[in-house]
A and B are shown apart, each in its own frame.
Chain A
Amino acid sequence: AQKVTQAQTEISVVEKEDVTLDCVYETRDTTYYLFWYKQPPSGELVFLIRRNSFDEQNEISGRYSWNFQKSTSSFNFTITASQVVDSAVYFCALTSTGGGNKLTFGTGTQLKVEL
């Protein structure tokens, strides 16, 4: 069985603060893929990043960075110098070939960035 836990239901920060969104996953498969999606107030789900289980390198894309640690089964997402436009619900998701390529989502973290 696959499971994704996002323990932070809601986070509020002031603009320009850094914020980290936590994601912990469970899977019995050795080959799996992790994802982050953003859901802004308009409602669509926007793909942010994919990471496979064999690549533990951290990734940085502009103000976004991701920290993948297999030892703790975590795939955390950090936004540096947050902006109001970052306000959204962020979902972590997991899939694996053993899981039938189904995307299993966490419950999401609502991020509110205020002026």
Chain B
Amino acid sequence: DAGVIQSPRHEVTEMGQEVTLRCKPISGHNSLFWYRQTMMRGLELLIYFNNNVPIDDSGMPEDRFSAKMPNASFSTLKIQPSEPRDSAVYFCASSAQDRGPTEAFFGQGTRLTVV
């Protein structure tokens, strides 16, 4: 298996622009997580899906952030409009939540820079 695939790996955009981050989870995994990593705040869970349904989006910073999972093999995280404080590494992770929590496998991350 190729693991969790995220694209793009790097994104530089201007303030005010829309940014879309993409994630393909590991085949067969039914839970998907979006995390953000910054020096100041560490690893923060933004949102997670179970069987394509958003379960908890309490970590989404504000209405400028939205996430979708239209099917089991694809998810997007969108920021509109982007701001410099959104600059961070965004990780997608997936896991097979069956009888209980299992380990999450992370993608390589997308390094977002908003100038």
Contacts and interface: CB of A to CB of B under 8 A. Distances in A.
A101 to B, nearest CB: 5
Given A97-B100, A101-B50, A103-B33, A44 B43 contact: no
B45, B93, B100 interface centre (most CB from chain A within 10 Å): B100
B101 interface: yes
Interface stretch (B15-23, B60-68, B70-78, B102-110): B102-110
Interface of B: 31, 33, 42-43, 45, 48, 50, 55-56, 89, 91, 93, 97, 100-109, 111
Q: Is the interface of B mostly helix, strand, loop or mixed?
A: strand
B76 to A, nearest CB: 20
A106 B48 CA distance: 18
Interface string A41-72: 00111110010100000000000000000000
Contacts of B91: 45
A100 B109 contact: no
Given A101-B50, A101-B97, A102-B48, A47 B104 contact: yes
A90 interface: no
A93 to B, nearest CB: 8
A50 B103 CA distance: 7
A115 to B, nearest CB: 27
A102 B33 CA distance: 9
A20 B56 CA distance: 34
Contact of A97 (B45, B89, B101, B104): B101
Interface of A: 31, 33, 35, 37, 43-47, 50, 52, 91, 95-97, 100-108
Nearest to B104: A103
Contact of B105 (A47, A104, A108): A47
Given A33-B101, A50-B102, A107-B42, A101 B108 contact: no
Given A96-B101, A101-B31, A102-B45, A43 B56 contact: no
Contacts of A43: 89, 108-109, 111
B104 A100 contact: no
A102 B111 CA distance: 23
